[in-house]
Amino acid sequence: MVSRIVVACLGLALAAFADAAMHDPTELNRQCRAVVEHRWPQWRFPDVSTEVREWATSRKETPTIAYGDFDGDGRKDVALLIQTVPQSGSIKIVACLSSRGATQPMVVEQPYCTDGITRVPKGQRYHDFTTELDGTYPKDGIHAYCFEKAGATYIVTAGSYREIVDSD
């Protein structure tokens, strides 16, 4: 009887630890990188130009990692800009969402731009150059940019992404 109680308590403790890890963006980032490593063993962060790195640094950001509440659940998520094979592999955005866990990342296979990524905050207004419609972001988005040229923001919607070309 005592062993059943101990096992049940251990199970609850592990579940609480896993839930706490999903609230910690650093832990989610670590778990996300482990999943990326498993799926694309030769992945790396793509090379970033000096201008992009300086611009991102001035904003206290990293051009290949973005944090935000991309799924709208009130918890931090992480997005990584990765190159799947050194030198010639395709560049993707991999987002690990706290609501799905790091083991089920969402992937943008062919981002509109690949110079860097950043977070676009919920509530920011946009103009979609593809549809010519204006709107307001309903949740944080992942913005992929071609530095000082163009960009698109990816909004998580019903388990996939909606692309909004918001800079041209």
Which percentage of the chain shows pLDDT scores above 90? Answer: 71
Query: What average pLDDT does range 86-115 have in this prediction?
Result: 88
Contacts 24+ apart (CB under 8 A), 89-94: 89/40, 89/42, 89/43, 91/46, 93/117, 93/142, 93/144, 93/154, 94/32, 94/35, 94/36
> Residue ranges of the domains in the chain?
2-167
Query: What average pLDDT does range 5-31 have in this prediction?
Result: 51
Can you give the pLDDT at residue 29?
A: 87
Inform me whether the pLDDT recorded for 123 exceeds 90. yes
pTM over 0.85: no
Residue (of 122, 95, 83) closest to 28 by Cα position: 95
Query: What average pLDDT does range 49-72 have in this prediction?
Result: 94
